[in-house]
Every structure is written in C-alpha cells, then in structure tokens.
Amino acid sequence: MIFVDSEYFTTADREGNQRRGIRFHLEKISGAISSGEHLHANPNTSYSRPSKTESRGLITSRVGQGYYRQEVLKKFGYKCAITGIGMPEILIASHIVPWREDERLDPENAILLSPSYDALFDKNLISFEGSGQLCLSKLLDSNLIQKLGLEREAKIKVTENMKKYLQRHRARLN
C-alpha cells in the first residue's frame, strides 16, 4: 500500500462520545516492486474535497493535495500545459499563487507543468500573460534559454478565472 492523502472527520467512539478521527487514503500496489522503481498514486483515483486544507500536529501537513492534483490533471487533460507531455507520473500541479497565500484547492490557481518548467515557474523565472503567452525573466539570457530548451513562442490555454492568479504571478517575475 502507498499513502495518498488523509482527512479528519468527526465520529463516535465505543462509548458514543464524539471524537476527531483521521481517515487515511491508501492505494494497493500490485506485484513486486524492484529497486529503483517509483511508487505513485493512480491518476484515476477519486478524492473528495476536504473541509480544511491544513492540520497541525508535530508538523503542519497539506491536506487535500490528492484532490487538488486530481482536479488539475483532469483540467489539463493529463498533459503538460506547455510541452504536451502526457506522463502524469512526472507532471506537477503547480500553484500559480503559492499555497501559503491563497486559494489552496482552486484548480484555476494551477498549471500542470513538466519538472523543468515547474522549477522555472516556481522561482519566478517564467510566467504567462492573460493570453497564455510565455513571459521570460530578464535573468534568462539567450544562451540559457537555448540550453534549457525554452520555446519563446510557447503559449498555454488560460481560462478566465486563471487570469487574476497569473497577473499576481507576473508581478513577481524576476
């Protein structure tokens, strides 16, 4: 089994008293796993929207990531918004406005990206216009752009509800 997500809920204990419980969402792994093989959640698994997005214990954990990723994968047809790579195992449901700031579970606050584009987006080295056109940071010179394999004319599909998030992200472009 692999851990996918968790959620808190209210339930009765053996004496009938209400208490807080935790439900773990696990997925069965079929067959033997060999050395170097990666474990990942099944993209066809369905999650429910959690009532809270964080829980505090010894550490603060993000609740609802499975649900969020599932919705973003569906929104982008299980393909990178820029490259069209259809390998969900490596794609990242990247928040446009960071998790710590706003709209944690809104799939409109997300772009599905391949790892290299996600890293650049996360570090505010690329962004997107409301039209979907790729914006490049002034810190990226032509040589680096070529080495990274960035397509200057790249364009993503942007919904109307994504534009407010992208505007905030562009304001941070380095």
pLDDT tens, residue order, the chain (174 aa):
666 677 777 888 888 888 888 877 777 665 544 444 444 555 666 666 766 665 555 444 455 677 788 889 999 999 999 999 999 989 999 889 876 666 667 889 999 999 999 999 999 999 999 999 999 999 999 999 999 999 889 999 999 999 999 999 999 988
| Residue 139, domain extent | 50-170
Q: Tell me, what's the pLDDT at 117?
A: 94
Among left, alpha and beta (phi > 0; psi -120 to 50; other), residue 31 is left
Q: Tell me, what's the pLDDT at 112?
A: 95
Q: Tell me, what's the pLDDT at 16?
A: 82
Task: Flag whether 145 is in a domain.
Answer: yes
Task: Flag whether 146 is in a domain.
Answer: yes
Q: Tell me, what's the pLDDT at 111?
A: 95
Q: Tell me, what's the pLDDT at 55?
A: 57
Task: Flag whether 11 is in a domain.
Answer: no
Strand segments (E) across the chain: 2-12, 18-27, 54-56, 60-62, 92-95, 110-113, 126-128, 134-136
Tokens for 31, please give them: 């067959």
C-alpha torsion 148→174→76→46, nearest 10: 110
Task: Flag whether 158 is in a domain.
Answer: yes
* Per-residue DSSP letter, 133: B
Task: Flag whether 25 is in a domain.
Answer: no
Tokens for 103, please give them: 């709209």
Give the chain's domain count.
1
Task: Flag whether 154 is in a domain.
Answer: yes
Among left, alpha and beta (phi > 0; psi -120 to 50; other), residue 135 is beta
Residue 96 to residue 115: CA distance in whole angstroms: 15
Whole-model pTM? 0.63
Task: Flag whether 141 is in a domain.
Answer: yes
Residue 63's nearest CA partner among 76, 51, 81, 46 is 51
Task: Flag whether 166 is in a domain.
Answer: yes
